[in-house]
A and B are shown apart, each in its own frame.
Chain A
Amino acid sequence: MNAPTEATTLQQHQREAILAALHAVLPAECLLSEQEDTRPYECDGLTAYRQLPMAVALPQNEQQLIAVLKVCRELQVPIVPRGAGTGLSGGAMPIADGIVISTAKMSRIVALDPLARTARVQPGVRNLAISEAAAPHGLYYAPDPSSQIACTIGGNVAENAGGVHCLKYGLTVHNVMRVRMVSIEGEVIELGGAALDAPGLDLLAVFIGSEGMLGVVTEVTVRLIPKPPVAKVIMASFDNVVSGGDAVAAVIAAGIIPAGLEMMDKTSARMVEPFVRAGYDIDAEAILLCESDGLQEEVEEEVGRMSEVLFRAGANAIAVSQNEAERMRFWSGRKNAFPAAGRISPDYYCMDGTIPRKRVAEVLVGIAEMEKTYGLRCANVFHAGDGNLHPLILFDANAPGEFNRAEQFGEAILALCVAVGGTITGEHGVGIEKIDSMCEQFEVSEIAAFIGVKRAFVGAFLLNPNKAIPTLDRCAAYGKRQVRGGLFKFVKQVNA
């Protein structure tokens, strides 16, 4: 692939000294440095970007982690923290002269309190494992990213992971009560707590979604909520994307917050249907999946109201899931959109812009135009309820120039998202992938503020450097405006 591999700048004896220091603080099975062992860590879910790290440390507990951080601090070794490596923005891509710290060996559910509805878990616990442990008590952990079988809570905290139910149940930031983490200085810091709020500034909110730059998580307390006894999903077909988009607005305008509200375009429906046989109308220009959950009578009432609204908004066909198997089948297409893309195209590139919902038709038309410009196909799946768009750009990395075109296509989509009042990433994070697009979305003074926030947490920039927040130089190179302009710069970005 097109890995932007960097060469090591360390001398052999320097590497040996670092590995020896790490060996001294970790059991032998907790340190990988042979290429065949570190190979699985060379990339995360953004596989186009690969880099072998010098070593991979897998601490078993907080003490070992603190010791590893001490070594890295003293020897100035950059660190990339890693959960399951399912991230889609290259946030866990290693650094040639750095190490990866994997939380895989810290994977214990420490405590689950059904009465208080909380679970205290180590960072390497899988997202779905929390819900499985809570299930006997009728509880679950709400955020459900598509990778939930594999992804870990530590990674979810780093990325502020979402899922298909966030409009009603929130993102990671809404469902995590406390994070225990170790700073690069080796200090153990607790943010949030067991109560509903904590004194002082809401540092927990800043830490969640900070992409592993502010500290390494060692424990997380999550909120568990009651599992709704019944869920039903409506599948509605529309003969154009505009009426599909309008239908989404109409549902919200009717005072309904669906448990899930997803939209797929025709390309996506045609891509997944042969793969999963979900029963999608492949002639429809847009398909909406609209879910209701709750008590039996509540769901009946809501599904009735939703169906009425969807018909009035121009749906030409509606099907309501009659049982759990059918509900899963309706969802299967949406949930398998990424693998289905992999089936019809050698490679695909998943974007993650968020836009005000009302601009959806316009953005989809814009993307269709770009397909011609860049000579690549794009399938669109959309968390319509919260405006989070996932265009899947289909390409072949082995065809000369296609990867570059796919990247340019992606950047153009993100620029369009920003232009209509949206953002470059709704839930996948900036990572290494969208670092230049940050300069598109933010003024230099705002990037400087992010760097100020980072400095407030950490003295040394060894944690996941060069990810998520671009340097001011990088933005200057990107061609955006002047450096922070002293005290008297006029404030033109305010709405007046």
Chain B
Amino acid sequence: MTMEDQVKQFSERIVDATVHGKPLRLRGGGSKDWYGQPATGEVLDTRGYSGIIAYEPTELVMTARCGTPMREIEQALAAEGQMLAFEPPHFGDDATIGGMLASGLSGPRRASAGALRDFVLGTVLMDGRGEALRFGGQVMKNVAGYDVSRLLAGSMGMLGLVLEVSLKVLPKPVAEKTLRLELSQEEALLRLNQWAGQPLPLSASSWHGGTLTLRLSGAEAAVASAVRHIGGEVLDAGLAEHWWADLREQRHPLLDAVRLEGLPLWRLSLPSTTEVLGEFGQHNQLVEWGGAQRWIRGQFDAQTMRARAQALGGHATLFRGGDKAAGVFQPLAPAVHTIHRNLKQYFDPAGIFNRGRMYQDL
């Protein structure tokens, strides 16, 4: 089937679903089936619409179809010495760029390089009417019309099928070093925030069990100078690469709690200076993003978790496992929820796309 025919087929299928009010479950490789509220509806497999449409390293832009495997994207970038700077997790070999965009997840580099949404330049969205709408573009700066493309990053497919996405890409850093320091969580949080306020080439951090692991990326001279400034033990390059890949893919034993121990994993997104959350047990915690992302393993009451996160200025997600009946994502303020409902109503009038995947009533 040609790509044109594939789009036509998607369109017919979506129109049919809209006309008959049949929910569709948008799915790429299924590597993140476990994320969000349970999915319902007939699967619409995006993998037939695959391939990199345009990639010009000197423009720093790549455009790909939704079903393109992440490994293909990253291989093409690596061949040109470039990368997706937000370091998206794949959660499986079959991960596609469409799923990456819909789930909106960013990896270890997020605190310093920015999130997925920061790198989205343009999209083509097929709405509930089966029409392809082009938002943004393939250029770095574009303020014509509302920035619907960034809105789609992390939208869990609730607004429609993202057919194509254009992303800003960046050169890989020339030099990279990983440091290990033995520090309490309290001390680590303080230092991480202090370092982030200094011109240091920090690119990732994680703390667990009294050990802070730090990654520095940039010009040779800048990395060397930061190593001297911060101190600690320099990790072997190969080991370091594995460490950050494991962290990103949640192969770290704490993050893999669902598989290893049958325990749910909570993600708390908080101001980076938030105090140590002693009540959840420090051995249950892994801190990333300079203190702004706290992973907590264990059975905790959803209400308590959410109230605490909110009081601290952030929010809590039941990231993996656990009882999804309590809601996976933090409930929205009523006025914000209304905007969500209105957007859903416009783009997906029959409510067919990934019904209930983000919030049960959307």
A→B interface (CB under 8 Å): 113-118, 137-139, 159-160, 162, 166-167, 170-171, 173-174, 183, 187-191, 193-203, 205-206, 208-210, 226-229, 249-250, 252-253, 255-257, 294-295, 297-298, 300-302, 354-358, 383, 385-388, 421-430, 434, 438, 441-443, 445-447, 449-450, 452-457, 468-469, 484, 486-491, 493-496
Contact = CB atoms under 8 A, between A and B. Distances in A.
Contacts of A229: 199
Given A115-B193, A195-B270, A201-B340, A257 B170 contact: yes
A354 B140 contact: yes
A162 B339 CA distance: 27
Contacts of A295: 199, 221-222, 225
Given A449-B148, A454-B146, 17 more contacts: A118-B271, A138-B199, A183-B335, A199-B332, A201-B343, A205-B117, A252-B171, A294-B222, A297-B225, A301-B220, A356-B59, A385-B140, A423-B137, A424-B144, A453-B146, A456-B339, A469-B145
Is the contact region of chain A dominated by helix, strand, or loop, or is it mixed? loop
Contacts of B317: 199
Contact of A206 (B4, B18, B146): B146
A200 B11 CA distance: 26
A206 B147 contact: yes
Given A294-B222, A446-B135, A205 B293 contact: no
B118 interface: yes
A421 B122 CA distance: 12
B269 A197 contact: yes
B335 A187 contact: yes
Contacts of A387: 139-141
Interface string B147-162: 1101101110011000
Nearest to B126: A491
B83 to A, nearest CB: 11
A199 B315 contact: yes
Given A191-B336, A252-B58, A488-B15, A423 B221 contact: no
A196 B115 contact: yes
Given A295-B225, A297-B222, A358-B56, A174 B118 contact: yes
A116 B198 contact: no
B2 A487 contact: no
A195 B291 CA distance: 10
Contacts of B269: 195-198
B193 A116 contact: yes
Nearest to B267: A197
B158 to A, nearest CB: 8
Given A193-B313, A195-B270, A496 B4 contact: yes
B132 A493 contact: yes
A426 B143 CA distance: 5
Given A187-B335, A488-B15, A194 B271 contact: yes
A226 B111 CA distance: 14
A172 B67 CA distance: 31
A189 B313 contact: no
Nearest to A420: B139
Given A195-B270, A357-B59, A226 B197 contact: yes
A304 to B, nearest CB: 10
Nearest to B194: A115
Nearest to B170: A257
A487 B15 contact: yes
Nearest to B5: A496
Nearest to A174: B118
Contacts of B314: 193-195
Given A117-B196, A387-B141, A423-B144, A491 B130 contact: yes
Interface string B292-322: 1100000000000000000001110100000
B219 interface: yes
Contacts of A208: 147
A386 B138 CA distance: 11
B142 A354 contact: yes
Contacts of B358: 200-201
A160 B130 CA distance: 31
A451 to B, nearest CB: 9
B346 interface: yes
B56 to A, nearest CB: 7
A438 B271 contact: no
B145 A457 contact: no
B343 A453 contact: yes
A496 B7 CA distance: 8
Given A166-B140, A425-B144, A446-B134, A487 B7 contact: no
